[in-house]
Amino acid sequence: MKLSELEDKMTKSVDSTLRAFNTLRTGRANTALLDRVEVDYYGTPTPLKQIAGVTVPDSSTIVIQPYDASALSNIERAISMDSSLGLNPNNDGKLIRLNIPPLTEERRKELAKVASKYAEEGKVALRNIRRDGIDSVRKQEKASDISEDESRDLQDGIQKLTDKFSDKIDSLLKDKEKEIMSV
């Protein structure tokens, strides 16, 4: 297994963690909040962004305009009942408005804990990639495809890569916690 392959996998893991961070509310309206919302559209779970236009007209409102007016009630149900956003949609018959209330101190702390959980999941993914890479190197060494010194060098390289990406996740977490806790 090449270090460049491991680096690609680790980059994808960090990107996934960043996407998870973006789904957390920070008190400002952001269309990424709705990335994980799935709407029952003609019996098929469909991502909200595929069946509606989502815009942010101001810092505390998200507007959802379905492409198909018959999906309005299903979108409303998906946001209020099925998602864990804690937002109440306002339906005016043509579009849905989501008012993003300011976060309480208690809710900010809860969101910071959720962000920490996402970061830990990202680090676990990195460690799994590291484990797979080291196992691959050890198998190559056992099969006499590479020397013991090459094996040790590769394992050190894999560990350095893991540390680099783990630090990147820590940095993203620190930024997200700062964003969440700022009023």
Q: Tell me the pLDDT of the chain averaged across its residues.
A: 88
User: What confidence category does residue 81 fall into, taking pLDDT thresholds of 50, 70 and 90?
Assistant: confident
What per-residue confidence (pLDDT) applies to 28? 74
Whether the per-residue pLDDT at 129 is higher than 90: the answer is yes
Predicted confidence (pLDDT) per residue in 116-127, tens digit: 999 999 999 999
Distances in Å between the Cα of 178 and the Cα atoms of 38, 110, 111, 117 are: 29, 13, 11, 16
Buried b (16+ CB within 10 A) or exposed e, 53-82: ebebeeeeebbbebeeeebbebbbebbbee
What average pLDDT does the segment 125-140 reach? Answer: 94
Contacting residues for 4 by C-beta, under 8 A, at least 6 apart: none
Alpha carbon 181 to its chain centroid, in Å, reads 19
pLDDT at position 37: 86
Percentage of the chain modeled with pLDDT above 70: 96
Ordered by where they begin, the domains of the chain are 3-21+104-181 (1.10.132.20), 28-99 (3.30.1360.40)
Kindly report the backbone phi and psi dihedral angles of residue 91, in degrees, each rounded to the nearest multiple of 5, phi listed first. -105, 125
pLDDT at 179 over 80: yes
Helices (H), the chain: 3-22, 48-51, 72-77, 105-142, 148-181
pLDDT tens digits, residue range 3-49? 889 999 999 999 999 988 887 867 677 888 888 888 998 889 999 89
Per the model's pLDDT, the better-predicted residue between 56 and 81 turns out to be: 56
CB of 164 closer than 8 Å to CB of 48: no
Half-sphere exposure of 124 (CA within 13 A, CB side): 6
Give the mean pLDDT of 121-140.
94
**pLDDT for residue 33:** 81
Please report the pLDDT score of residue 128 as a whole number. Answer: 96
Looking at residue 166, its pLDDT comes to 96
Place of tokens 């509606």: 52
SS3 of residue 101 by DSSP: coil
Average pLDDT on 64-69 reads 91
